[in-house]
């Protein structure tokens, strides 16, 4: 019988440790955080009803309960347009449902009144004829109705229609596929005329539309990032987990965008990762950055990189977790230029453990909170599970607890904890 040397025993132990699964994650705790953040208490984690800041205070408590060493706030302000008040639209006297039959572009003013409709002839389009038609007495003060993708191809004309000096039309209605989406990214301003999105079938053939819609513009609205830290064995560099906890807030008094997938799913993941590392001390410090203002054009993460509490040069690797509440067996990622070596390790880990059928590497884009770090050459990766059953409800009122999916949580948790053990 061959005996192992001391070196051989150590090697065998290390190899065994490498093949063992990552420590168990607390799925019940994870689900509870998702359920809480997507509840009516936080009204879509927006701004007009202070849902985002209420959610931020909830996260402070959750991080403290997790046993982290530091919890602090990083305040910042933003300008944002909101819709917390009246939200009614009718077509030829038939009432439409906010969030389902119609939404607004985030930069729209309020609108009140009864208006004729003018449908753009997209088959025989002529911009000169369009503007001439709108000056006819029967069309003055009308809402212009057109397919969104057609307006996208003729941006200059339709931007002119949005200006009070460009045409006498009262506003625009863009038709869009179902389910209708709502956004906040360009809500830092209010344009001259309202832009409404509807489904084509609810407006087709109509003659008139009426509106009773309020907006409220918030100037220098106070938000904050929630920052937690677990101290490791070394403090000269650190890992960073990020996720945004804000969402879209309200569309009127009755409709809110719960954001269970976007991004209660990612926020809950970094809360449970904080609890895990508070119990299993890591080799390096780990920071957990819960950002507000992501849906308002990455405001929180931009505020952070402009005044970093964690020196950017000391970040070994950053993991941005956004919209992992889905069941696509593959996962999507983006990396910074300096994050490629880490991506290769993720590929290796996934090939060994089969957490996902594939890690699909996309082109870096300004689509989530990794981007302000990536353009400053911080090694980072962005994970998102897209095109599963939950993805269709992205930015709709149906992205709620009832449609929550949890399939990606465990493989993401295990993959990133494996990574930190090997990077």
CB 78 within 8 A of CB 299: yes
CATH number reported for the structural domain that contains residue 359 in this entry: 3.40.630.10
- pLDDT of 56 reads 98
Do 348 and 260 sit in the same domain of this protein? yes
Among 213, 243, 269, the domain boundary falls at: 213
CATH number reported for the structural domain that contains residue 206 in this entry: 3.50.30
The residue range of the domain holding 126 is: 87-213
pTM, 2 dp: 0.92
CB 225 within 8 A of CB 288: no
**Is 237 among the domain residues?**
yes
- pLDDT of 323 reads 98
Do 141 and 161 sit in the same domain of this protein? yes
- pLDDT of 325 reads 97
Among 198, 213, 228, the domain boundary falls at: 213
Packing angle of the helix pair 27-37, 409-422 (nearest 10 deg): 120
Residue with tokens 């051989």: 8
Domain tally, the chain: 2
- pLDDT of 25 reads 67
278 vs 228: CA distance, rounded Å? 11
- pLDDT of 12 reads 38
Do 273 and 303 sit in the same domain of this protein? yes
Do 343 and 275 sit in the same domain of this protein? yes
Residue with tokens 């997209």: 122
Q: Could you say which residues of the chain have pLDDT below 50?
A: 1-23
Do 256 and 163 sit in the same domain of this protein? no
């Amino acid at each position: 019988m061959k005996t192992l040397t001391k070196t051989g025993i150590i090697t065998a132990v290390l190899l065994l440790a490498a093949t063992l699964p990552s420590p168990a994650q607390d799925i019940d705790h994870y689900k509870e955080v998702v359920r809480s953040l997507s509840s009516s208490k936080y009204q879509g984690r927006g701004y007009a009803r202070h849902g985002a800041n209420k959610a931020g205070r909830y996260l402070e408590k959750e991080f403290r309960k997790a046993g982290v060493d530091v919890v602090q706030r990083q305040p910042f302000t933003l300008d944002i347009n909101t819709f917390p008040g009246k939200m009614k639209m009718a077509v030829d006297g038939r009432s439409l449902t906010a969030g389902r039959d119609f939404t607004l572009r985030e930069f729209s003013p309020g609108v009140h009144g009864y208006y004729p409709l003018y449908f753009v002839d997209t088959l025989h389009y002529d911009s000169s004829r369009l503007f001439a038609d709108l000056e006819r007495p029967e069309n003055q003060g009308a809402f212009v109705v057109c397919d969104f993708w057609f307006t996208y191809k003729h941006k200059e004309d339709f931007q002119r229609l949005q200006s009070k000096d460009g045409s006498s039309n009262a506003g625009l209605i863009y038709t869009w596929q179902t389910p209708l989406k709502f956004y906040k990214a360009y809500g830092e301003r209010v344009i001259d005329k309202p832009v409404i999105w509807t489904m084509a079938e609810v407006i087709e053939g109509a003659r008139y539309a009426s509106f009773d819609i309020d907006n409220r513009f918030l100037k220098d609205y106070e938000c904050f990032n929630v920052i937690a830290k677990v101290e490791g064995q070394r403090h000269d560099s650190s890992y960073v987990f990020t996720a945004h906890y804000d969402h879209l807030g309200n569309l009127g008094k009755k409709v809110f965008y719960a954001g269970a997938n976007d991004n209660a799913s990612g926020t809950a993941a970094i809360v449970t990762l904080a609890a895990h590392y508070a119990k299993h001390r890591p080799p390096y410090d780990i920071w957990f950055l819960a950002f507000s203002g992501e849906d308002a054009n990455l405001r929180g993460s931009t505020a952070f990189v402009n005044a970093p509490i964690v020196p950017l040069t000391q970040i070994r690797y950053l993991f941005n977790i956004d919209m992992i509440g889905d069941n696509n067996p593959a996962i999507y990622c983006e990396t910074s230029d300096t994050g490629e070596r880490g991506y290769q390790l993720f590929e290796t880990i996934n090939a060994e453990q089969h957490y996902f059928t594939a890690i699909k590497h996309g082109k870096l884009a300004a689509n989530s909170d990794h981007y302000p770090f990536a353009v400053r050459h911080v090694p980072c990766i962005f994970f998102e599970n897209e095109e599963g059953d939950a993805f269709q409800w992205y930015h709709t009122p149906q992205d709620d607890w009832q449609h929550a999916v949890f399939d990606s949580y465990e493989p993401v948790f295990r993959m990133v904890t494996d990574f930190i053990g090997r990077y």
